[in-house]
Structure 1
Amino acid sequence: MKKILFPTDFSEAANNAFIHALEFAKNVNGELLLLHTFELPIYDDHFFPENYASIYSSIELANFERFKEEVPKLKAIAAKRNLQDIVINHRLMDGDLLYNIKSVVANDKIDFVIMGTNGNSDWSSYFLGSNTESVISGVEVPILCVPVDAAFKKIRAIGFTTRYREKDKMELRKVLKIAKKTNAKVRSLYVKTTNSDVLETTIKEWEKEFANENVEFLILPSDEVKETILDFVLYKDIDILAMITHKRSFFESLFDASFTKKITKEVSVPILVMHEN
């Protein structure tokens, strides 16, 4: 059974992502580990308030009480979608979000992380902000990032961007396994720029190697990589876009201000962030 970590702050974005997490768990025969973190105040060693112990205790109690209030609401969401049989475990932890996520991923042998974004207007800061960018670069399992207004719908087509590198094949196989669970088609995109160094023989080798898989390879010539990816998502009816992280600069270029405004206005799909090996 696959283990899926779902960090939540019980916000609207998180609750929307929870629906995706439930459906994803159903598709991959997985169980959810719901994680809520909170940070205690940090005081200078020389300026501890006299009642610091009671301050810590009250913050912990308040977070525990909120946790108790919110969990039944999530269970109600699951029941409404007839997914109450999905196994959901709960974890309340204090401390840094990234540290806790990395710790849980390692100790609980997590296979996927699913997180909600703060909304369309915040895509760039979501991917490039200190917390989430660190999660993307610091966690070695695939991460499904769900925009707040990405309503769940049956997954019929998964987009996969590639540069036809040998190490991309492993990630494509992971995507194909997910696609098989929902009978979805995988559409692989390579944006061929004027500086492209991919040989035609390499492309033919890929097509031959994956000939028996439910994958369609598209090569689109363009020097406007970001806009071509957007068009691909729009016109090929992509429900989830799987992308392999190369380095932070890749996300900085992909989610710059002008492109973010365009992509969030026209399309809102979850992005499955894969990692280089």
Structure 2
Amino acid sequence: MKKILFPTDFSDTANNALVYALKMAENRNATLYVLHAYEMPVISATANPMMIQDVYKTIELGRFENFKDQVPPIRQIAEKHDLGHIPMHFILEEGYLNSILKKIIKDENIDMVVMGTSGLSGFEKKILGSNTANAISTLTVPVLSVPHDAVYKSINAIAFTTVFDHQDDAALTRLLPIAERNNAVIKCLHVSNDGITEASEVAQTWKQKYSGQPVEFHFISSKETEKSIFEFIDKEQIDLIASVTRNRNFFEKIFTSSLTKKLTYHTNIPVLVYHEH
């Protein structure tokens, strides 16, 4: 059984991403691990030790009660989207989110993390939202980041940005089952002026390897990589963007560039990030 980890703070952004997490779990026959992490406040060392202990106990109890109260609404969201059959496992942890994520990924052998990105207030100031940026750059499993404004719809077209190296090859192999279960096509996109074209040997090798699979190849010669990718996303009506983490600059720009104000589509599209190994 596959395992998907979904960290939540119970916000609208997180609840929006929950639908994607549930759908991804359904798609992969996975259990969804719902995680809420919280940090204890720092209390002055001059305070009475017994008082500090009582304060922490009160906070722990309050957090538990709050978490317990949030479980039914999460189940209601699942039911509302006909996903009530997805097995869910609830985890409440105290500590720093990124450390907890790494621990659970290791201990539970997690396959993927699904996270909501910050709302509109955070987009211009914080790239992807700090938690998601940290997760994308430091976790070892794929991370699906879901923008605040994304509205779940069926995944028909996946854009996969590639430079045709072995890291991309490995990621594309892992992306194929997601495409196949959604009856989606993967549109591999190479944007650069490095001379790699459809006629290039590496492109022909990939075409041959993925022959008969739902994979297309697109080549754009341009120095304006992000602009070309954005235009491709709009033109091809992409539902999911996938890439390997080396393209961190792209992920920064996809949420913060002034281009996002000119193009209609991509700020509402989830981004699936694979990690270089």
- TM-score relative to the length of structure 2: 0.91
Q: After TM superposition, give the deviation of residue 212 of structure 1 in Å.
A: 1.8
The aligned length equals: 275
Query: Does residue 41 of the first structure (1) align with residue 45 of the second (2)?
Result: no
Work out the CA distance in 2 between the residues paired with 1:151 and 1:227. Answer: 23
Q: After TM superposition, give the deviation of residue 62 of structure 1 in Å.
A: 1.4
4+ runs deviating over 6 angstroms: none
Work out the CA distance in 1 between the residues paired with 2:252 and 2:182. Answer: 32
Q: Secondary structure at the match of 1:115?
A: strand
- TM-score relative to the length of structure 1: 0.91
Corresponding residue for residue 213 of structure 1:
213
Corresponding residue for residue 29 of structure 1:
29
Work out the CA distance in 2 between the residues paired with 1:136 and 1:234. Answer: 24
Query: Does residue 53 of the first structure (1) align with residue 53 of the second (2)?
Result: yes
Aligned partners of 1:111 and 1:141 also within 8 Å: yes
Give CA deviations for 1:72-124 in whole Å, capped at 9, x if unaligned.
Answer: 00101111222111000000000001000010011000000000011245336
Aligned partners of 1:2 and 1:28 also within 8 Å: yes
Q: For structure 2, list consecutive stretches of 5 or more residues without a partner in the other structure.
A: none
**1:239-258 matched pairs, under 5 angstroms:** 239-246=239-246, 248-249=248-249, 251-252=251-252, 255-258=255-258
Q: What one-letter code is carried by the residue in structure 2 that aligns with 1:135? A: A
Corresponding residue for residue 224 of structure 2:
224
Aligned partners of 2:6 and 2:34 also within 8 Å: yes
Work out the CA distance in 2 between the residues paired with 1:209 and 1:218. Answer: 16
Q: After TM superposition, give the deviation of residue 24 of structure 1 in Å.
A: 1.0
Corresponding residue for residue 74 of structure 2:
74
Corresponding residue for residue 107 of structure 2:
107
Q: Secondary structure at the match of 2:83?
A: coil
Q: After TM superposition, give the deviation of residue 258 of structure 1 in Å.
A: 2.6
Q: Sequence identity of aligned pairs in percent?
A: 40
Corresponding residue for residue 272 of structure 2:
272
Corresponding residue for residue 135 of structure 2:
135
Q: For structure 1, list consecutive stretches of 5 or more residues without a partner in the other structure.
A: none
Give CA deviations for 1:211-243 in whole Å, capped at 9, x if unaligned.
Answer: 121100000121111111111111111100001
Q: After TM superposition, give the deviation of residue 192 of structure 1 in Å.
A: 2.3
Corresponding residue for residue 14 of structure 1:
14
Q: After TM superposition, give the deviation of residue 259 of structure 1 in Å.
A: 4.0
Q: What one-letter code is carried by the residue in structure 2 that aligns with 1:235? A: K
Query: Does residue 204 of the first structure (1) align with residue 211 of the second (2)?
Result: no
Corresponding residue for residue 148 of structure 2:
148
Q: What one-letter code is carried by the residue in structure 2 that aligns with 1:11? A: S
Q: What one-letter code is carried by the residue in structure 2 that aligns with 1:37? A: A
Q: Aligned-residue CA RMSD in angstroms?
A: 2.1
Work out the CA distance in 2 between the residues paired with 1:130 and 1:62. Answer: 26
